[in-house]
Amino acid sequence: MRPKVIMHTQISLDGCVRGFIDTGIYYVVANRFNADMVLFGSETIYTAAEQYPPETEKSFSKPLDKPGDNRLMWVVPDSRGRLRNLHVFRDSEYCKDFIVLVSRSTPQSYLEYLRERNYDYIVTGDDHVDYAKALEILYEKYNCSIIRTDSGGILTNVLLEQGLIDEISLVISPCLVGTGEPHAFRSLSLANSIALKMISFELLDDDHLSIIYKVLRNRD
């Protein structure tokens, strides 16, 4: 078994993932899914800011699990071992803690970096993360029933190609961005088209659209 995986993305009318005004509607819809965890792409975490404060003694300790803490666990793949800014998000008001997905090719020095700072990590796959297996572990070991993606498109395209997305949620912003920004499905490569069934269609804040589709296939 694995969690239900919901791809949640905000796009312009022409499909770009950036270049529009952030009104907060993305998170209004996201909170409705009652997800247990959020799956981020490594590029999303890597480029979240240009500069980060240095680590402190607190960065090496796992946060205490406090009653009533409704923050979500964040999951991020990092086979190459390049994310050294996790402490910034771990200390934020939004993140409970990280689970890092790595592969058997991940440098041992990075695994030691994670162990020293008490980050949980899951090893699956040889050269790249085996997402199907990682999701099974998240379900069985961490009781994750629903996981929502928060990605600029590269990770969600991989999950779609591997048949691991169950629902697609799009918040459509009322604007056209053009070719200067990346598109949500820019790297999607499919042998066959994926059929979708609309679950809901809603007008938000007068001019934004929320559309949710079910991916039509049998889940394992």
pTM over 0.75: yes
What's the pLDDT score for residue 109?
97
CATH of 1-36+149-220, one of 3.40.50.1220, 3.10.20.30, 3.40.430.10, 3.50.50.60: 3.40.430.10
Show the 3-state SS of the chain.
CCCEEEEEEEEECCCECCCCCCCCHHHHHHHHHCCCEEEECHHHHHCCCCCCCCCCHHHHCCCCCCCCCCCEEEEEECCCCCCCCHHHHHCCCCEEEEEEEECCCCCHHHHHHHHHCCCEEEECCCCCCCHHHHHHHHHHHHCCCEEEEECCCHHHHHHHHCCCCCEEEEEEECCCCCCCCCECCCCCCCCCCCCEEEEEEEEECCCEEEEEEEECCCCC
pLDDT tens per residue, range 16-53: 999 998 889 999 999 999 999 999 999 889 888 667 88
Residue ranges, comma separated, of all CATH 3.40.50 domains in the chain are 66-144
Residue ranges, comma separated, of all CATH 3.40.430.10 domains in the chain are 1-36+149-220
What's the pLDDT score for residue 127?
95
CATH 1.10.540 fits 66-144, yes or no: no
What's the pLDDT score for residue 176?
96
